[in-house]
Structure 1
Amino acid sequence: MSGLVRKSFDSPEETRPFEDGKGKIDLVDLAGGAVGRGVFEPGWKWSDHVKPIAKTDSCQAAHVGYCVSGRMVVVMDDGEQQEFGPGDVMIAPPGHDAWVVGDEACVLVDWQGFADYAKR
């Protein structure tokens, strides 16, 4: 039997919308865990659009992801800050806020942090 698996974000197993329609997470399930594609619309900010869902002071998910398009700033609770854009690979430990920069949606693919992200 083949070990090939094919999934598509065009038909995810689950979609989780953010507050105020500012984006969503699409999840596909793999044997090693969920992989997510986040679409973060212009004006999206974690502390405004996910914090009410997560009910934590900052994002407590650890992210390992790839930025497909758009730009996002991530600022850690200790003040360390980085901006990510197309082609960037991101590692963001728990304890951060984030927001979209500019007028283009930021699309991120995340292999670690979206399994419980924005889960109601």
Structure 2
Amino acid sequence: MADGQGRNLIVRSLDTPDETRPFEAESGRMDLVETPFGAFGRAVFEPGWRWSTHVRPIAGTDTCQAMHVGYCVSGRMRIRMDDGSESDLGPGDYLFCPPGHDAWVVGDEACVMLDWAGAAHYAQRG
């Protein structure tokens, strides 16, 4: 077991997560592994997924209030900030996204994202 200071090797698989949080209407999921440094997550957003439709009922906020630091493995997503600015991301893109946004899958391929910052409480029922 790690000492919290990074002195021990830790290997975990997202294929055997500590927790899986499904989104509404079987539109995807967040797989989580816990580490001494916090939760790490892999989100799978199916085609047609939209935060305001499939996660807002779980989160209970008008827009997503999680900060995300992540990497897009596959698929495409559009993010619209509360100030109206928006951007698309796709495979190979790094993401820093502050709280206050909506997001949705673009196209007919699932979007798979890795998240180092926002996974711990994302899509977590109160």
* TM-score bucket (shorter structure): over 0.9
Task: Give the count of matched residue pairs.
Answer: 120
Q: Does 1:21 align with 2:26?
A: yes
Alignment of 1:29-68 (within 5 A): 29-68=34-73
The unaligned stretches of length 5 or more in structure 2 are 2-6
Distance 1:12 1:63 in 2: 19
The superposition leaves residues 3-34 of structure 1 with CA deviations (integer Å, 9 ceiling, x where unpaired) of 10000011000000000000000000111100
Distance 2:19 2:111 in 1: 19
2:111 partner amino acid: C
Query: Which residue of the partner structure matches residue 72 of structure 1?
Result: 77
Percent of aligned pairs with the same residue? 64
TM-score, normalised to structure 1, is 0.98
TM-score, normalised to structure 2, is 0.93
Offset at residue 114 of structure 1 (A): 1.1
Distance 2:76 2:30 in 1: 16
Q: RMSD of aligned C-alpha atoms?
A: 1.0
The unaligned stretches of length 5 or more in structure 1 are none
The superposition leaves residues 80-115 of structure 1 with CA deviations (integer Å, 9 ceiling, x where unpaired) of 101000000001000000000000000000000010
SS at match of 1:48: helix
SS at match of 1:94: coil
